[in-house]
Amino acid sequence: MFMTSSSLSILVIDENVSRAHLIEAALNEVGHSEVMLVHTVEGVAAKIATVDPDVIVIDLDNPNRDMLENLFQLTRTVQRPIAMFVDRSDHGSMEAAIDAGVSAYVVDGLRPDRIKPILDMAISRFNAYTKMMNELVQAKGELAARKTIDRAKGILMKAKGISEDEAYALLRKTAMNQNRKIVDVAETLVLAADMMGDD
């Protein structure tokens, strides 16, 4: 889910009603017309599920540990850019926020003139994180596929008394004949060997 900072739906969580309206006005000013305001963290998970915002902005005066932990639990499950503004913080809270997936954690509150660059940064960081996670998943998948193919080659080499190159050629030929991927053929062979106890 990659996104740009134009025409986003934004959910603002701020218990201070007048400040929330200032944030809404500032967001409108920089081109974001779809802004929803929530003035309590109670039941906010259901609200997020209902409105399905592109970006979440959380503005807190002086959050206590319980409130932060609840918000961090929430941010772990929501795959969205999240910008969190707090008036005061400590190193532990900041680290917990980043670990929980907060894209931008800003101490010293939210000023309207800082909204656009911070939102842009939150979106950019979210996109970079998403790309990195996708690449990690892909790399893990490729590594697992290579291990499966290597194991299948080993099974064929042992069963047929052939070389590694010949085993791979046999896997490739079978895959082509069956219109399947080599890794799928290798997986079937490995599963069959496991069932037979041949490996």
3-state DSSP of 18-83: HHHHHHHHHHHHCCCCEEEEECCCCCHHHHHHHHCCCEEEEEECCCCHHHHHHHHHHHHHCCCCEE
pLDDT tens digit sequence for 109-139: 667 677 778 888 888 888 888 888 889 999 9
Under the banding of pLDDT at 50, 70 and 90, the label for residue 1 is very low
pLDDT tens digit sequence for 64-93: 666 667 777 777 677 788 888 777 767 777
Q: What is the mean pLDDT of residues 40-68?
A: 77
- CA–CA separation, 189 vs 101, rounded Å? 40
| Cα-based angle 38, 101, 119 (whole degrees, multiple of 5) | 60
Which residue(s) pair with 14 in the sheet? 59
State the pTM of this model. 0.61
pLDDT tens digit sequence for 10-34: 888 888 888 888 888 888 888 888 8
Range 9-110 classified under CATH 3.90.320.10: no
User: First CA to last CA across the chain, in angstroms?
Assistant: 41
Would you call 104 helix, strand, or coil by DSSP? strand
Tell me which fold the domain 135-196 belongs to.
Answer: Arc Repressor Mutant, subunit A (1.10.10)
Under the banding of pLDDT at 50, 70 and 90, the label for residue 175 is very high
Going by C-alpha positions, the residue among 5, 92, 2, 93 that lies closest to residue 57 is 5
- Are 101 and 75 a contacting pair, CB within 8 Å? yes
| Residue ranges per structural domain of the chain | 9-110, 135-196
Distance, CA of 70 to chain centre: 19
